Amino acid sequence: MMSLAQGLLGGASGTLVGFTLGLIGGGGSVLAVPLMVYLVGIPNAHIAIGTSSIAVAVSAAFGLSIHARAGTVKWACAFVLAAAGVIGALLGSLIGKMVDGQRLLVLFALLMLVIAALMRLRRDYAGDHTVQLNKANAPKLAGLGLATGLLSGFFGIGGGFLIVPALVFATDMPLVYAVSSSLVAVLAFGLTTAASYAFSGLIDWPLAGIFIAGGLAGGWIGVRSAHLFANRRTLLNDIFVGVIICVAIYMLIRSWSG
């Protein structure tokens, strides 16, 4: 049974993740699992992954609604990548549940370092504003969708910072469209992974509800605050990269010393 302290820490963790997502446009979801394991105190890594998956999906749906109103979602391209990725996410979640929880956390920490590198390399990119789904980019979208979905399902993350580079590489779309369109896949991957873990009884539903509530509140604050830091988004991104690296190193030390 969840204690009061775990509930409060779960809400605070959700708020932090949601705020980060709203402020810098991605990456915050990668902190959900380590926060649940090391701060909230969920001893089972698989439950932490399953619970974070549903929270990530809801956060993605909230963000997608905002970007859809702005007209920056390339729906056709996003649907092709997401459809292939759902297959990958299902396979990834099935494989992830068979891996020892401690080993899974080590692999997760290593993936965090990769994501930190991708975030550090991200820069504004002009791209082709008229990009459409066609015979040339559809196979690339499907192949990359399958690969990113596999990783997303395996680790229980939204995978936005894997999906965004995939969309840019496959279609040459501008970064702003890739960030917006990626949420279609993040939503689809999160729901697929959550369904797989829920089927195995590996979701803490009360904690998920608290985490989601905190995430929505944090997301609203983050979006409202984003314009205040419009000229310092690169600095904020770099600071957050540093946080991810520190958390990843902490997870590796804990895993190897434990």
Question: Model confidence over 98-126: pLDDT tens digits?
Answer: 988 788 888 888 988 887 887 676 555 56
Please give the pLDDT value at position 108: 84
- What is the H or E stretch that residue 256 is in? helix 233-257
Query: To which residue do tokens 């290593």 refer?
Result: 110
Mean pLDDT calculated for residue range 41-58: 89
Please tell me the total count of domains within the chain. 1
Residues 73, 191, 193, 142, CA torsion sign: negative
Give the pLDDT confidence score for residue 79 in this predicted structure.
97
Top pLDDT among 211 and 102 is at 211
Across residues 197-216, what is the average pLDDT? 93
Tell me the per-residue pLDDT of 151-198, one tens digit each, with 9 for 90 and over: 888 887 777 777 888 898 899 888 778 878 988 998 999 899 999 999
Least confident piece of the model among 2-11, 61-70, 194-203:
61-70
Tokens of 99: 């891996």
Host H or E run for residue 140: helix 138-155
Look up the pTM and report it.
Answer: 0.81
Residue 253 has phi, psi (to 5 degrees) of -65, -45
What pLDDT digit, counting tens, does each position of 75-97 carry?
999 999 999 999 999 999 999 89
- DSSP annotation of 73 reads -
**Cβ of 135: how many Cβ atoms within 10 Å?**
6
Which residues form the domain of 244? 4-257
Answer yes or no: is pLDDT of 39 > 60.
Answer: yes
User: What is the pLDDT at residue 78?
Assistant: 95
Question: In this predicted structure, what is the pLDDT of residue 231?
Answer: 65
* The pLDDT value given to residue 90: 93
Give 128-155 pLDDT, tens digit per residue.
Answer: 788 899 999 999 999 999 999 998 888 8
- Token pair, residue 185, equals 């896949």
Closest CA to 50 of 18, 6, 94, 11: 94
Average pLDDT on 15-29 reads 73
Mean pLDDT of the chain: 85
- Rounded to whole angstroms, how far apart are CA atoms 88 and 76? 19
Lowest average pLDDT, out of 30-44, 92-106, 190-204, 239-253, goes to 239-253
Closest to 199 in 3D by CA, of 29, 13, 53: 53
